[in-house]
Chain A
Amino acid sequence: MGLRVSLLLILSSALFFCELHSDSCHYFRAKLSVLALPVQKLVDAPIRLVSWVSDTVVTQRYLLSENARLRADALMAEAKLQRLLALQRENEQLRQLLNSSSQLDTKTVVAQLLAIDLDPSLQQVIIDKGTQHAIYEGQPVLDSYGVMGQVISVGPYTSRVLLISDTRSAVPVQDSRSGVRAIAVGLGSNQQLSLIHIPDTADIQEGDIFVSSGLGQRFPSGYPVGEVTERTVISGEQFILVKLKPTAHLDRTEQVLLVWPAQSLQDKDHAS
């Protein structure tokens, strides 16, 4: 028994370190994730059913009032969109004058989150789209309020998203007011991000919105990432402490938006 347990321990440790340090093991494991799907769906389905039932069994009055509210929202959005179209045209003309390339519209797909909890040590979620839907590793994921994270492993039918609040996540960001550039890293809790290596002369104030700067070529530029909640100068330290509150609803979202930034679309065309 002692010999058997040592052998099994060596085997499992080897797999553990292989997955941590080797890309091919990581790839193999992403394929294996399809085995977990039945049980994951078994938990997800009843919860989805309950929310479906509560959606179906509502009073007509509620529906009417919701409909009126949504109509008003749509009207407002359309009014804004008209202005946006004019601005976009103007922007393109200005870009042509400057001889810089105009930005293309990006392809997007809506995905559902699976209603399951992964390990509490991880700030990750599972979405119901995989290689079948041309999801790729490193793809940015947004919700309607801002940047949520990026895809880190793709299975056939599901893929895993690393939220921006995970300790291994870093997003290049830019202050939308002053233009100060920084890196926002996760702290392992879905309420906080922190900016690293900010000198105390940087023009950052509480309430500033940081948007993705697009510098890492992974996240598309201009999407909100977080709002500054705390700016503390620690005496004796070289850098100041800046905390952000993520604008995306990391803990409450059910649907997310997967984006194909123009850059990777062109890459894919070259590949095929």
Chain B
Amino acid sequence: MRADAVGTWLKISFSFLIAFMLTLLPLARPWVWLQPAWVLLVMMYWIFAAPQRMGLIWVLIIGFYLDLLTETPLGQHAIPLLMVAYLLFKFHVRLLIFPFMRQYVMIIALILLYYGIEYWLISLNLHARVWTLAAVVPVITTSLMWLLVSRLIGNHVLRAHTVRF
């Protein structure tokens, strides 16, 4: 049991490290907007896959670290991550038993919430509007990436939950 817990910890840390690195990956200017919110995706995955290992405090620490990495004011990523994590913690069991399309619509709503809060915080910081059309692109790429990530969650989580019910 303990070895199992350590293994999960390692997996969680490693996946977040990869997400951090992907976020920093340098791309030519127009392609930057294609970058999905990797850390958000990984966080949502672990809340589904191992909710007992993820806590709100960890989410906050991860968010602050992401802010340090991308040199944004502390909180610009942490606050939206925290909001999404809270809602997911509250509703992830219910989401798991939803039919796929309904589940996906809810996830897209969460991604929209994430970017909505983030853009609002950016506009507070820059005193300028960031609502260009390009700002919609990461919402779309993140939603598409979720299709892959939700495949990874796969059957073992669903099975674990059906056992519990």
Q: Which of B76, B82, B90, B127 contacts A8 (CB 8 A)?
A: B82
Q: Verify B126–A167 contact, CB threshold 8 A.
A: yes
Assess whether A119 is interfacial by the CB under 8 Å rule: yes
Assess whether B63 is interfacial by the CB under 8 Å rule: yes
Known: A8-B82, A9-B79, A32-B68. A1 touches B73 (CB 8 A): no
Q: Verify A16–B26 contact, CB threshold 8 A.
A: no
CA distance A114 to B54 in the complex (A): 32
Q: Which of A42, A115, A118 contacts B70 (CB 8 A)?
A: A118
Tell me, rounded to whole Å, the shortest Cβ–Cβ distance linking A252 to chain B.
9
Residues on the B chain within 8 Å of A47, using CB: 26
- Which chain B residues (30-72) contact chain A, with CB distance < 8 Å? 32-33, 35, 56-57, 60, 63-65, 68-72
Q: Verify A126–B71 contact, CB threshold 8 A.
A: yes
Known: A8-B56, A33-B68, A167-B128. A39 touches B21 (CB 8 A): yes
Residues on the A chain within 8 Å of B163, using CB: none
Known: A8-B56, A12-B63, A35-B65. A20 touches B124 (CB 8 A): yes
Residues on the B chain within 8 Å of A124, using CB: 71
Residues on the A chain within 8 Å of B82, using CB: 5, 8-9, 12
Q: Verify A5–B74 contact, CB threshold 8 A.
A: no
Residues on the A chain within 8 Å of B126, using CB: 121, 167-168, 188
Residues on the A chain within 8 Å of B26, using CB: 43, 47, 115-117
Q: Identify which of B29, B70, B121 gathers the most chain A CB atoms within 10 Å of its CB.
A: B70
Per-position binary interface string of chain A over residues 231-270, scored 1 when its CB falls under 8 Å from any chain B CB and 0 otherwise = 0000000000000000000010000000000000000000
Per-position binary interface string of chain B over residues 70-96, scored 1 when its CB falls under 8 Å from any chain A CB and 0 otherwise = 111111101100110010011000000
CA distance A117 to B69 in the complex (A): 10
Tell me, rounded to whole Å, the shortest Cβ–Cβ distance linking A155 to chain B.
10
Q: Which of B68, B71, B76, B128 contacts A35 (CB 8 A)?
A: B68
Assess whether B8 is interfacial by the CB under 8 Å rule: no
Tell me, rounded to whole Å, the shortest Cβ–Cβ distance linking A231 to chain B.
23
- Which chain A residues (31-82) contact chain B, with CB distance < 8 Å? 32-33, 35-36, 39-40, 42-43, 47
* Sample of 14 more A-B contacts, CB < 8 Å, known A121-B126, A168-B126: A1-B86, A1-B90, A4-B56, A5-B82, A12-B75, A12-B82, A16-B79, A32-B68, A36-B68, A39-B24, A116-B24, A118-B71, A120-B35, A190-B29
A-B contact pairs, 15 of them (CB 8 A): A5-B82, A20-B73, A20-B125, A32-B68, A35-B65, A39-B17, A115-B26, A116-B24, A117-B35, A118-B72, A119-B72, A122-B71, A168-B126, A188-B128, A251-B28
| 3 nearest CB pairs, A to B | A16-B75, A36-B68, A116-B24
